[in-house]
Amino acid sequence: MSQPAGSPSSVAPAASNSAAPANAVAGAAPAKPGAPATREQVVAAAIREISHIATLPEITLKIVELVESPKSTAQDLNKIISADPALSSRILKVVNSSFYGLPGQIASINRAIVMLGLNAVKNIAIAASLAKLFRGGELTANFSAKHLWGHSNAVAVGSKMLADSLRLGLADEAFLAGLMHDIGIMVEMQFDRAKLIEVLQKVGADSKGVPMSDWLKAEEECFGANHQDFGIALCDKWRFPKPFVYATGFHHRPLELPNEARTIASIVYVADRLAGALEGGFRQDLLVTDIGADVCEQIKLDQVKLDAIRKLFPDEVKNANAMLA
Ligand SMILES: [Fe+2]
Ligand SMILES: [Fe+2]
């Protein structure tokens, strides 16, 4: 059980930025002097510490809010995006890439929204912002922020393919959830690089990048929390809709969610394993890439559909890499 939330002035042991906003993360309890930090305290401290780096641009938050609002129209979105020329041109580049396979050249944001829908354009805008967070160079021979970004792209593509194949009407949401799922590892990297290197060394890897021991356990030992905890807190801070909280916080354990909340997290779980099995893909946090039959059952994913996706997956990932590079 977590303790009650601390007063705004309380500082968790690892926090160095006491001027951080008091409401960065709910549920952060004050530390008793000398007491080990609780999971909540560690996570709150990390989010406070990195808050100057991990901000999504105001415009991205506006776009998320707008698309989540039932009253929003294509015109509203067009207005916001068109006010930012850099974002507009980035979106048009993506829209015109082979990933979407649209006929002819799309020259305006308005047209892009008409062709792809509000949600897809929102996701492109968020993806463009997220890419900027995956910076920080190489930590070990097996790990760099770029490597993790490549993996995130692959999981996004796999999640979209799964959602399409299952005809859930969730393809855009699944794509973005896949893109974000391991963002907690970036929180760890920005918060305490030395500790993440410790995790990497503890876990170890063979020449193919296959881990030798359990990543989440190593995170718990080094940080006192794992990347799912950090991911949940960041999504909360960004006020992202619940499915993203579930995907970042439960992609290693989707069946621990209530039944009605499992779909996106289960899709991301499967895509994570598909991506982990790709040659050269990041899979430090996956001891095995087997896909649980219980998770397949949860989303009604049969072997025929899974095999079809597995076959097309590597080429789709290559296309998307060209788009999001
Ligand atoms: Fe993960
Ligand atoms: Fe992953």
Could you tell me the distance, in angstroms and rounded to a whole number, from the CA of residue 8 to the centre of ligand 1?
31
At residue 222, does pLDDT exceed 50? yes
- Alpha-carbon distance of 265 to 178, in angstroms, equals 9
- Alpha-carbon distance of 255 to 260, in angstroms, equals 10
**Dihedral angle computed from the Cα positions of residues 169, 79, 62 and 19, in that order, rounded to the nearest 10 degrees:** 160
Domain 134-324: which topology?
Hypothetical protein af1432 (1.10.3210)
* Cβ atoms 289, 277 nearer than 8 A: yes
Q: Which residues surround ligand 1, an ion (CB under 5 A)?
A: 182, 285
Q: Which residues surround ligand 2, an ion (CB under 5 A)?
A: 182, 272
Query: Mean pLDDT, to the nearest integer, of 222-235?
Result: 96
Among the bound ligands, the one closest to the CA of 285: 1
Paired residues of 140 in beta bridges: 143
pLDDT digits (tens, 9 = 90+) for 18-53: 333 333 344 444 545 566 689 999 999 999 888 766
Could you tell me the distance, in angstroms and rounded to a whole number, from the CA of residue 150 to the centre of ligand 2?
10
Among the bound ligands, the one closest to the CA of 268: 2
**pLDDT value at residue 52:** 66
**pLDDT value at residue 55:** 67
pLDDT digits (tens, 9 = 90+) for 147-198: 999 999 999 999 999 999 999 988 888 988 999 999 999 999 999 999 999 9
Q: Which residues of 288-316 are buried (b: 16+ CB within 10 A; e: fewer)?
A: eeebeeebbebbebeeebbeebeeebeeb
Q: What is the DSSP string of 134-163?
A: S---EEETTEEHHHHHHHHHHHHHHHHHHH
Could you tell me the distance, in angstroms and rounded to a whole number, from the CA of residue 305 to the centre of ligand 1?
24
Paired residues of 205 in beta bridges: 211
pLDDT digits (tens, 9 = 90+) for 263-311: 999 999 999 999 999 988 899 999 999 999 999 999 999 999 999 999 9
**Dihedral angle computed from the Cα positions of residues 282, 252, 210 and 303, in that order, rounded to the nearest 10 degrees:** -90
Residue identified by tokens 């492109």 is: 124
Could you tell me the distance, in angstroms and rounded to a whole number, from the CA of residue 182 to the centre of ligand 2?
5
| pTM: predicted TM-score of the whole model, two decimal places | 0.80
Could you tell me the distance, in angstroms and rounded to a whole number, from the CA of residue 119 to the centre of ligand 2?
23
According to CATH, where is 1.10.3210.10 located in the chain? 134-324
Could you tell me the distance, in angstroms and rounded to a whole number, from the CA of residue 284 to the centre of ligand 2?
8
**Dihedral angle computed from the Cα positions of residues 208, 148, 26 and 218, in that order, rounded to the nearest 10 degrees:** 20
What are φ and ψ of residue 278, in 5° steps? -70, 145
**pLDDT value at residue 325:** 59
Could you tell me the distance, in angstroms and rounded to a whole number, from the CA of residue 188 to the centre of ligand 1?
12
The mean-pLDDT minimum among 13-17, 69-73, 181-185 falls in 13-17
**pLDDT value at residue 69:** 81
Q: Which residues of 163-176 are buried (b: 16+ CB within 10 A; e: fewer)?
A: bebbebebbbbbbb
CA-based nearest residue to 110, from 72, 60, 73? 73
CA-based nearest residue to 160, from 32, 286, 317, 40? 317
Rounded to whole angstroms, the maximal C-alpha distance in the chain is 65
Could you tell me the distance, in angstroms and rounded to a whole number, from the CA of residue 155 to the centre of ligand 2?
7
Q: What is the DSSP string of 4-60?
A: PPPPTT---TT---TTS-TTSSTTPPPPPTTSPPPHHHHHHHHHHHTTTTS---HHH
The contacts found for 65-69 with CB under 8 angstroms, 24 or more apart, are 65/239, 66/122, 67/118, 67/119, 67/122, 68/241
Among the bound ligands, the one closest to the CA of 150: 2
- Alpha-carbon distance of 87 to 93, in angstroms, equals 10
Could you tell me the distance, in angstroms and rounded to a whole number, from the CA of residue 29 to the centre of ligand 2?
29
Could you tell me the distance, in angstroms and rounded to a whole number, from the CA of residue 318 to the centre of ligand 1?
21
Could you tell me the distance, in angstroms and rounded to a whole number, from the CA of residue 52 to the centre of ligand 1?
24
Residue identified by tokens 């004050």 is: 30
Could you tell me the distance, in angstroms and rounded to a whole number, from the CA of residue 181 to the centre of ligand 1?
7
Neighbours of 144 (CB within 10 A): 18
Query: Mean pLDDT, to the nearest integer, of 230-255?
Result: 93
Handedness of CA 74, 75, 81, 82 (dihedral sign): positive
